[in-house]
Amino acid sequence: MHAQCTQALSKLPSWISALTQNQTVEDWLKAVSSRQPTPGGGSVAAHIGANATALFAMVTRFSRNPPFGPTFADALDQHTARFLALGADDAAGYQQLKKTLKQAKTQTINQADLDAGYIAAADAPMRIYELTALVARQLIAVYPNTNPNLASDTQMAVL
């Protein structure tokens, strides 16, 4: 794993079970399928984005024509790390909203504060969508020039 990804993983809050450095794929899938609200859809989307972007980075490292090179691959590594951070942000945003909604059951909450909680909880998923669109545009732009020996890997990154 490249330095940017490792660095992002090390900064994830310890209470976040999703996307942790020491979690196996099997443990991740068990956490997703469990009867717990997190990791949920946003974390799963971030995980898928991180995997696809990491695969895209691998393809670029095997591609020789411009615009490929270390700078392009490193930028994809940074996108991968960003997906991981957004997965953690999604879970944290949901947990905060859940706490606010629980509090609203026992005391009066200002509507503006409640609205702010919903908006904050939607922030990470929206950023995941934006980053996904950015990576997709990059992939579409360079797809014809990727290493033909990695066509199936490139196609899997598209999925």
Is the pLDDT higher at 128 or at 13?
A: 128
Mean pLDDT of the residues in the chain: 86
- Dist CA 45 CA 42 (whole Å): 5
Residue 14 has pLDDT above 70, yes or no: no
- Dist CA 153 CA 147 (whole Å): 10
Q: What letter would DSSP give residue 40?
A: -
Using a pLDDT cut of 70, give the percent of the chain over it: 87
Residue 10 has pLDDT above 90, yes or no: no
Q: Provide mean pLDDT across the span 18-31.
A: 76
Q: Provide mean pLDDT across the span 121-128.
A: 96
Say what the pLDDT of residue 3 is: 60
- CB-based contact 88:57 (threshold 8 Å): no
pTM of the entire predicted model:
0.82
Residue 46 has pLDDT above 90, yes or no: yes
- CB-based contact 135:53 (threshold 8 Å): yes
> What number of H helices and E strands is found in the chain?
6, 0
Q: 3-158 has which CATH code?
A: 1.20.120.680
Q: pLDDT by residue (tens digit) across 64-84?
A: 888 888 999 999 999 999 999
Say what the pLDDT of residue 18 is: 46
